[in-house]
Amino acid sequence: MASPRHLLKLSGALLLLCVGVCVARNSDFSIVGYSEEDLSSIDRLVELFEKWLAKHQKAYASFEEKLHKFEVFKDNLKHIDKINREVTSYWLGLNEFADLTNDEFKAAYLGLNAAPARRGSSRSFRYEDVSASDLPKSVDWRKKGAVTEVKNQGQCGSCWAFSTVAAVEGINAIVTGNLTALSEQELIDCSVDGNSGCNGGLMDYAFSYIASSGGLHTEEAYPYLMEEGSCGDGKKAESEAVTISGFEDVPANDEQALIKALAHQPVSVAIEASGRHFQFYSGGVFDGPCGAQLDHGVAAVGYGSDKGKGHDYIIVRNSWGAEWGEKGYIRMKRGTSNGEGLCGINKMASYPTKDK
């Protein structure tokens, strides 16, 4: 009977027939997670899988499951390598999602319920009269002390809560000078008017909850559980809540309006993040294939330009941990001449307001 390692080797031979040994221009192992040598033999391919398992602390219930995951890993590696040889503006890598099919990935890591019924509940846009000529050429709220460390939602469809919290942390830091990590878990447990915890939600509903409930407690006082809990669990009575006065929607499909808002504060945005290019994004200015069926809430925290390649971009903070993308961030191309923006980023942006 063939050994488990021998079966992995036989399985790996199929990938070698498809991929060959020519890998991406950006094939530095530290960036994309594999090298030309890893694709040069079945032994190296099996070794790569084992190293990837160790790095991401993966363990499976049976050898059959491991063999299945190796098949998925091979298929994803084939896709990653193919795109890296074709694309120059961004690159893909073997991140922690490399043993997930795209369907499995979508089921576990998204979670935006883009119900438009309450969009427009706040009709004003305070930055409407800001002149485009007065906008700075680039803004990075990370450098201005208005963005906390990248967080990880895990396998809970709570992206909407992380997007909301990032925007509230930002405006609170700008107004008060204090950068405080706030609680996504409180929103998951307590913001239930229109939101469904780990089964998805919408940032505007969460802003409404924060404005009407007396504020949001700190992450330390109300830590993240990666699952739904009872409202109030873990909340310390002595913990001070961060308040907002309300929220406003950025005019839909208007990139200039989004940039105006983003020049003044971090902004919650919704995008379509379900594609395989997005799943394995590792760096560069992303301009890959994606539609505008909004399924993921993230936070825009700045904008700028890649002077070397002439690409304008929006800096987006994700909630899949610091090992995804550019240490948890993605630079998404702007100026696409499409009103909806790349991956629909201009369709449904909003931001909290806070009185000074």
What does the DSSP assignment read for 182-200? B-HHHHHHH--SS--TTB-
pLDDT digits (tens, 9 = 90+) for 124-178: 999 999 999 999 999 999 999 999 999 999 999 999 999 999 999 999 999 999 9
DSSP three-state, residue 169: helix
Given this model, what pLDDT does residue 171 score?
A: 98
- The per-residue pLDDT for range 226-265, each reduced to its tens digit, is 999 999 866 666 678 999 999 999 999 999 999 999 999 9
Q: What is the DSSP letter of 242?
A: B
Averaged confidence pLDDT in the chain:
89
Per-residue pLDDT at 1: 52
Structure tokens at 289: 């294939």
Mean pLDDT confidence for 330-353: 96
**Catalytic residue (choose from 76, 172, 318, 346):** 318
* pLDDT tens, position by position, 270-284: 999 999 999 999 999
194 φψ region: left (φ > 0), alpha (ψ -120 to 50), beta (else):
left
How many residues comprise the chain? 356
Closest CA to 15 of 47, 41, 52, 54: 41
**Do 245 and 262 meet the contact criterion of CB atoms below 8 Å apart?**
no
Residue 248 is encoded by which pair of tokens? Answer: 């406003």
pLDDT at 6: 54
Q: Give CA–CA dist 156/158, Å, rounded.
A: 5
Considering the candidates 217, 277, 296, 311, report the single residue annotated as catalytic: 296
Residue spans per domain, the chain: 36-86, 109-353
Dist CA 229 CA 236 (whole Å): 15
Of 76, 225, 58, 63, whose CA–CA distance to 151 is shortest? 225
Q: What integer pLDDT is reported at residue 326 of this predicted model?
A: 98
The b-or-e profile of 88-107 (16+ CB within 10 A means b, else e) is eebbbbbbbbbbbbbeebbe
Query: Is the separation of the CB atoms in 153 and 164 below 8 Å?
Result: no
CA–CA dist 308, 354 (Å, integer):
38
Above 70 in pLDDT, residue 207?
yes
Check residue 16 and give its pLDDT.
45
| pTM of the predicted structure, to 2 decimals | 0.90
Q: Find tokens 């192992």 and name the residue.
A: 29
Catalytic one of 156, 159, 290, 343? 159
Query: Could you tell me the two tokens for 288?
Result: 């890959």
Closest CA to 319 of 352, 257, 271, 262: 271
- CATH number for 109-353 (one of 3.30.420.40, 3.40.50.720, 3.90.70.10, 2.60.120.10): it is 3.90.70.10
Q: Let me know if 296 is a catalytic residue.
A: yes
What is the C-alpha separation between 278 and 275, in angstroms, rounded? 5
- Per residue in 36-83, pLDDT (tens digit) is 888 888 888 899 999 999 999 999 999 999 999 999 999 999 999 999
Confidence of residue 27 (pLDDT cuts 50, 70, 90): very low
Structure tokens at 310: 């002439």
Q: Are 2 and 40 in contact (CB under 8 A)?
A: no
Range list of H helices, the chain: 4-19, 29-32, 42-55, 63-86, 102-109, 159-176, 184-190, 203-213, 255-262, 276-279
Q: Is 84 a catalytic residue?
A: no
Least confident of 37-46, 93-102, 291-300: 37-46
- What integer pLDDT is reported at residue 37 of this predicted model? 84
